[in-house]
Amino acid sequence: METELFVINDIEKDHDKLERAAGLIKNGSLVAFPTETVYGLGANALDGQAVRRIFDVKGRPMDNPLILHIPDMLWLKRYCLDIPPEAYKLAERFWPGPLTMVLKRKSTVPDEVTAGLHTVAVRCPNHKVALRLIRLVGAPVAAPSANISGRPSPTKAGHVLYDLSGKIAGVVDGGSCMVGVESTIVDLSAKPYKILRPGGVTPEQLSEVLGPVGLDSGVLQAPKDSETVKAPGMKYRHYAPKAQVILLMGDIEKAAGFVNRLDRETTGVLCFDEEIPHFKGKYILSYGKRDDYAAQAQKLFHCLRALDEKRVKTIYARCPESSGVGLAVSNRLLKASGYQIVEV
């Protein structure tokens, strides 16, 4: 299959391209498109057969449910039941934006989307191209990250093409994603409400609306086999480049001393801007200042892919504090590393 590329420079001038892309989705094909978090692989969420294609193409386990993307909160009641008032408060404050809510589902949502769960995840993305595309489709769009399952999520159209060219009908290119990591997921289907995945909306921001909100134990720890995993995606190794990622904890002098003794051809480093002068290797990338979690989130997946292109075998990564958006960055790095940490 030839993958058609729709480059959008101006949403009005390029409206015809978005109409063609929406037409493909309406016909049951898959089209990747930009959101503010990462690129999504879109299918008409009400078409079970189209949704199954997402799992095929990504190699995604069928028990890992998808998020419905909707253009505004008025669509919530079409697909969700027993919506608590807090859901509307959160939507008013954070939509469009990087917040996904898990709510009780209506039977209008195909089983393929929810992996048979009695809940459904819904979000309204903060991206003009995504919103226009969804409105043109006229149905909710199921859209997991547009990468091969397990790989770093795509934050540019080029990343999508690298993973999926020839396997999907189209890619809408709307430039780089601003947030760079996936949405925050909050489970409102049962009390106490809980964050299942950290993202661009922070726990601190959520608690301004919800009061104290819990954090699923899987966010910063490996889930125990015996534990029932609430968000099924949490049990898989995720976001991982081909190289082995190892988190490099501890003081920068010692950390750099440790890495600088290793083979420069096969070792990559992902660190903060201020740390660059300490490292002597060949493949050293920084992903933002130590305290600039938003910059780190935006560049994280791109940097992991860029280090893979250098064919390094191991990537030693410096990890931010787990506060604010730093929590989402640490969570992605932990999962990418399969919980491999060296403490120097």
Residues 197-256 that bind ligand AMP (CB under 6 A): 230-234
Q: Which residue is nearest to Mg ion (CB)?
A: 145
Q: Is residue 182 at the binding interface for ligand AMP, with CB under 6 A as the rule? A: yes
Count of residues engaged in binding ligand AMP, rule: CB under 6 A: 20
Among 230, 296, 219, smallest CA distance to 64 is for 230
Q: Torsions phi, psi of 97, nearest 5?
A: 170, 180
What does 54 bind: ligand AMP, Mg ion, none (CB cut-off 5 to 8 Å by kind)?
none
The dihedral built from the CA positions of residue 324, 327, 328 and 329, taken in this order, carries a sign that is: positive
| Structure token pair of residue 1 | 């299959």
SS3 letters for 291-336?
Answer: CCHHHHHHHHHHHHHHHHHCCCCEEEECCCCCCCCHHHHHHHHHHH
Nearer CB in complex with ligand AMP: 17/305: 305
Should residue 295 be labelled a site residue for ligand AMP when binding is judged by CB under 6 A?
no
Q: Which is nearer to ligand AMP, 173 or 216 (CB)?
A: 216
Footprint on residues 52-111 left by ligand AMP (CB under 6 A): 64-67, 102
Nearest residue to 4 (alpha-carbon basis) of 16, 21, 28: 21
> Amino acid letter at 216?
D
Residues that bind Mg ion (CB under 5 A): 145
Among 87, 91, 196, 295, binds ligand AMP (CB under 6 A): 196
Please report, as residue ranges, which positions from 118 to 157 form the binding site for ligand AMP (by CB under 6 A). Answer: 119-121, 144-145
Q: In angstroms, what is the minimal distance from the CB of 120 to ligand AMP? A: 5
Task: Answer whether 170's CB lies under 8 Å from 1's CB.
Answer: no
Q: Which amino acid is at 3?
A: T
102 interface partner picked from Mg ion, ligand AMP, none, CB below 5 to 8 A per type: ligand AMP
Alpha-carbon 11 to chain mean position: 24
Q: Which does 64 bind (CB under 5 to 8 A by kind): Mg ion, ligand AMP, none?
A: ligand AMP
DSSP string, 82-100: S--HHHHHHHHHH-SSSEE
CB 305 to Mg ion: min, Å: 14
Q: Output 67 or 248, the one with its CB closest to Mg ion.
A: 67
| Least distance in angstroms from the C-beta of 66 to Mg ion | 10
* β-strands 283-286, 267-271 pairing: parallel
The span from the CA of 143 to the CA of 141, in Å, is 6
Judged by the rule CB under 6 A, the positions of this chain that interact with ligand AMP are 64-67, 102, 114, 117, 119-121, 144-145, 182, 185, 196, 230-234
